[in-house]
Chains A and B, each alone.
Chain A
Amino acid sequence: AQKITQTQPGMFVQEKEAVTLDCTYDTSDPSYGLFWYKQPSSGEMIFLIYQGSYDQQNATEGRYSLNFQKARKSANLVISASQLGDSAMYFCAMSPHTGNQFYFGTGTSLTVIP
């Protein structure tokens, strides 16, 4: 069975500071992808970053980076230089490469404080 765990229901960060959102996963599939999505208050789901299970380097996309620790089955999202517009819900997701289904965590609400 696939499972995604996000243990932080809510996080606060000062503007311009970095913040780490935690995500752990459980899967028996040898090959899988890990994803982070942002959901602002307007409701849309915005794809942020992807990490393949066999990728040697941690993924980065602008201010977003994914701290991938395969042995620990963790895929934490790091947002550097937080901005007010980063305030949103953030969802971690996993998809085994054997299928196309995504499994989502329960999300972390991030609030950036000016």
Chain B
Amino acid sequence: DAGVIQSPRHEVTEMGQEVTLRCKPISGHDYLFWYRQTMMRGLELLIYFNNNVPIDDSGMPEDRFSAKMPNASFSTLKIQPSEPRDSAVYFCASSFGRPGYTFGSGTRLTVV
């Protein structure tokens, strides 16, 4: 089991650029979550999917953020245009039943 795979591990981009974060959940998991972690706000749920369908996107901060899950093995989180305040670690996690999520290693995004 390869776990939840996120790419890239680190991303540095200039303000205004488009950023795409990628996630491959564990095979067979039917839930996928995107979280953002910052020192100020801790871990925040951005959006989650069940069977590839977005269930709750109330945590998505602005229209600049969008997430897709075109199939059971792939999801993207896109920020367009990026801003310095988007700098954070973005985690993808997947689950099937309980207990617990399995998190990916995260993508550390720096917007300069």
Tell yes or no: B99 within 8 A of A by CB. yes
Q: Which of B45, B91, B100 has the most CB of A within 10 A?
A: B100
Which single residue of chain A is at the shortest CB-CB distance from B45?
A: A101
A45 to B100, CA, bound (A): 11
Whether B89 and A50, one on each chain, are in contact in the complex, defined by CB atoms closer than 8 angstroms, is: no
Given contacts A44-B105, A107-B42, contact A50 B48 (CB under 8 A): no
Smallest CB–CB gap between A38 and chain B, Å?
A: 11
Smallest CB–CB gap between A11 and chain B, Å?
A: 17
Smallest CB–CB gap between A75 and chain B, Å?
A: 13
Whether B98 and A50, one on each chain, are in contact in the complex, defined by CB atoms closer than 8 angstroms, is: yes
Summed over the interface, the residue pairs from A and B with CB atoms below 8 Å come to a total of 47
A50 to B103, CA, bound (A): 15
Tell yes or no: B95 within 8 A of A by CB. yes
Q: Which of A43, A50, A104 has the most CB of B within 10 A?
A: A43
Which single residue of chain B is at the shortest CB-CB distance from A100?
A: B31
List A21-53 residues whose CB lies under 8 Å from chain B.
Answer: 33, 35, 37, 43-47, 50, 52
B-side contacts of A33, CB under 8 Å: 98-99
Range for the number of chain A residues in contact with chain B: 10 to 19
Whether A50 and B99, one on each chain, are in contact in the complex, defined by CB atoms closer than 8 angstroms, is: yes
Tell yes or no: A102 within 8 A of B by CB. yes
When each residue 87-114 of chain A gets 1 if its CB lies under 8 Å from chain B and 0 otherwise, what string results? Answer: 0000100000000111011110000000
Whether A43 and B43, one on each chain, are in contact in the complex, defined by CB atoms closer than 8 angstroms, is: no
A-side contacts of B101, CB under 8 Å: 45, 47, 102
B-side contacts of A35, CB under 8 Å: 99-100
Tell yes or no: B68 within 8 A of A by CB. no
Which 3 residue pairs spanning A and B have beta carbons closest together? A50-B99, A45-B103, A47-B100
Q: Which residues of A contact B (CB under 8 A)?
A: 33, 35, 37, 43-47, 50, 52, 91, 100-102, 104-107
Q: What 18 new A-B contacts, CB under 8 Å, besides A43-B106, A47-B100?
A: A35-B100, A37-B103, A43-B89, A44-B105, A44-B106, A45-B91, A46-B103, A47-B102, A50-B98, A50-B100, A100-B48, A101-B45, A101-B48, A102-B33, A102-B45, A102-B101, A104-B42, A105-B42
